[in-house]
Amino acid sequence: MMKKRIGEIFHPGIIGVQPGDETQKAIGLMREHNVSCVLVLEGERPVGIFTERDLVRCVAEHRAGFRDRPICEVMTRGVLGCRADSRLYETFHLLAAHGIRHLAVQDEDGRAVGMVTQSDLIRHLGYDYFVKVKTVSQIMQKNVVTILPEASVLEASRLMAARSLSFLVAASQFSPEGVVTERDVTRLVAEGRDLAEVKVREVMSSPVVALRHDAPAFEAAELMRKRGIRRLVVLDEFGAAVGVATQTDLVRGLESKYIETLKRIIVDQGEELDRAVRELTAKTLYLDSILTSSVDMGIVATDAEGRVAFCNCGAERCLGCTAAQMQGRSLEDIHAGEGVTPERLAAAMQAVRQGQTHSFSFERPGPEGPLAVSARLAAIRSRDALAGYVLLLMDVTEQRRAEETIRRMAYHDLLTDLPNRALFTERLALELAHSQRRGKPLALMVLDLDRFKEVNDTLGHAAGDEVLRQVADRLRGSLRESDTVARMGGDEFALVIPEVAGAEDALSVARKVLAGFDAPLAVDGRDLPVRMSVGVALYPEHGADMDGLLRQADAAMYRAKDQGKEQGCSCCLLTECG
């Protein structure tokens, strides 16, 4: 259907006026031929267009004083056009991109030979396929602009012009009674009526053509086609108006919502993938347009041999190479470049050919740091034959960063960025298992700042926080990479020192840690000396499990605190304190 050409569906012949003709002539032609626009021509070449939207704007601005003015003064200048040999999808994208309803069909010399409208495309685009996957609520405009039935058509025209609307819902007490449109305004102006004297109730279409919000969108398109209208009102389950749906909304739905739906189908519904991509042959320009438009997802499509035929800009960003560089490359090359072994790929390709999918992830350097990519490979089938493959790539860098931030917040102290009690417990359990397996002792140290409460009471909590941050930095600087330092809460810290030679080695490390605090801390322009007590326990000598070892280290720390009341910093090994 999308391969059809405009020459098969457009309206031949032109309804047009010359730039110097009075606007009244254009209005009369629109009324006589029941059309929504006329072209403004110099010779046979279009230089402008006058639509029902332009007419409503003129009514709002000039009331009736514009009808004898030259059409060139009130028309929309410039006309978007297409050739008779243009394909439907090209015209479809042109209308959607510019938000318009009319295109002039021109020959190779730029002469106008006909018109094609939004309604023509809706009838021929195969909407029944494209919009079955969405409901009216997904394409409708949620704001319902209403006017009282007793208001004048002039008021309605001004409201339509101000909001750039093609129609208004006439309603009283939130109940829709009818619809007044640009076409109604055109008819009244052509008849020479004074719009200030005509009530909306007199001209509105009633009853309202409506559809429920949960109805399939293709029903909206079909209802518009059967009634010969371009819009309808959307109702909720209680009959209240909750939105409006127009042909323009259908076109926009085909332009944007379809791409969104296609991605969801491909990612989440493997069974729907075959049905969706079967309609898009591997080498149509329409698929190429989707690939180009889906900038937030990388899409690579290949032929049946696995050679790249399509590559969008999202894939360029995820893979770090241009579409030209990707063209003709094999899936094997792409996977190998991201660290997937040939054996794993062979098994994956076999699974994909049998209807399954192959997922993998990788990282590569990016302009702002490592780029994390999640990838999924699936087969494209045409009837019973394999037509190719589609590789979907999603940049999950921000997601990974968010996960890392959450994980870090869960396992690290926010003030000092040291491991918190939860992460310390995991690491201690791990190191205990290693010590048991290797038969080598492990030292656990518990540290406590002496008289820290005085800092908070005299200098304030901000100064106390700064003391804790600097203590954490000095502890980090005095240990090996294989050691662990954690903040257990308050002014208490803990160290895990694996593979110590014995008691003397553990005490040597503790003294080194304390020596790191010989110099005072600089806090708020003053020097603060640090007094610290350290309790040391050895595995397996002082405890065979985590809880027992922690209790013994705590006991040693309190004994060290008692011993250090007169001498400042002190450390105590459990067996030496007993």
Name the pTM for this structure.
0.42
Dihedral sign, Cα of residue 62, residue 63, residue 67, residue 68? negative
When mean pLDDT is compared over 86-95, 181-190, 245-254, the highest value belongs to 181-190
Nearest in space to 573 (alpha carbons), one of 528, 516, 508, 481: 508
Taking the C-alpha atoms of residue 318 and residue 363, their distance in angstroms, rounded to an integer, is: 9
Does residue 573 contact residue 506 with C-beta atoms inside 8 Å? Answer: yes
Which residue(s) pair with 392 in the sheet?
299, 376
* pLDDT-based confidence at residue 95 (cuts at 50, 70, 90): confident
> How large is the average pLDDT for residues 525-543?
90
* pLDDT value, residue 365: 85
In sequence order, what are the residues at sequence separation of 6 or more whose Cβ sits closer than 8 angstroms to the Cβ of residue 430? Answer: none
Question: What is the predicted pLDDT for the residue at 561?
Answer: 84
Q: What is the per-residue DSSP string for 518-571?
A: SSPEEETTEEE---EEEEEEEETTS-SSHHHHHHHHHHHHHHHHHHTTTTSSEE
Least confident of 128-142, 241-255, 328-342, 420-434: 128-142
Percent of the chain with pLDDT over 90: 30
pLDDT at 71: 95
**Cα 519 from Cα 512, distance rounded (Å):** 13
Specify the pLDDT at position 565. 59
Render 172-202 in DSSP notation, one character per residue: ETTEEEEEEEHHHHHHHHHTT--TTTSBHHH
Higher pLDDT, 3 or 518: 518
Q: Give yes or no for residue 127 having a pLDDT over 60.
A: no
Q: How confident is the model at residue 575 (pLDDT cuts 50, 70, 90)?
A: low
Per DSSP, the three-state class of 112 is strand
Per-residue pLDDT at 549: 93
- Per DSSP, the chain holds a count of helices (H) and strands (E) of 25, 26
pLDDT tens column, 259-295: 444 444 334 444 444 444 445 444 444 455 555 554 5
Tens digit of pLDDT for each residue in 47-59? 999 999 999 999 9
Q: What is the mean pLDDT of residues 438-445?
A: 92
Mean pLDDT of 325-345: 81
* Position with higher pLDDT, 515 vs 252: 515
Question: What domains are there in the chain, each with its CATH number?
Answer: 6-118 (3.10.580.10), 130-255 (3.10.580.10), 269-400 (3.30.450.20), 412-577 (3.30.70.270)
Q: Would you call 151 exposed, middle or buried from its count of C-beta atoms within 10 A (0-12, 13-18, 19+)? A: middle
Contact (Cβ atoms closer than 8 angstroms) between residue 277 and residue 260:
no
Written in H, E and C, the secondary structure of 312-356 is: CHHHHHHHCCCHHHHCCCEHHHHHHHCCCCHHHHHHHHHHHHCCC
The pLDDT of residue 126 is 52
Of the candidates 341, 331, 333, which has an alpha carbon nearest to the alpha carbon of residue 376? 331
The residue that leads in pLDDT, 441 or 122, is 441
- Please give the pLDDT value at position 423: 92
**Predicted pLDDT of residue 292:** 52
Average the pLDDT over each of 26-30, 202-206, 263-267, 358-362 and give the range with the smallest value.
263-267
Tell me the torsion sign for CA atoms 90, 92, 97, 99: positive
* pLDDT band at 569; cut points 50, 70, 90: low
Selecting among 491, 505, 527, 554, the annotated active-site residue is 491
Q: Taking 90 as the threshold, does the pLDDT of residue 155 lie above it?
A: yes
**Per residue in 372-431, pLDDT tens?**
988 898 998 876 788 889 989 888 888 888 777 777 888 899 899 999 999 999 999 999
Average pLDDT of the chain to the nearest whole number: 82
Q: Does 93 have pLDDT greater than 60?
A: yes
Q: What is the pLDDT of residue 174?
A: 60
491 is an active site residue: yes
Cβ-contact 325, 315 below 8 angstroms: no
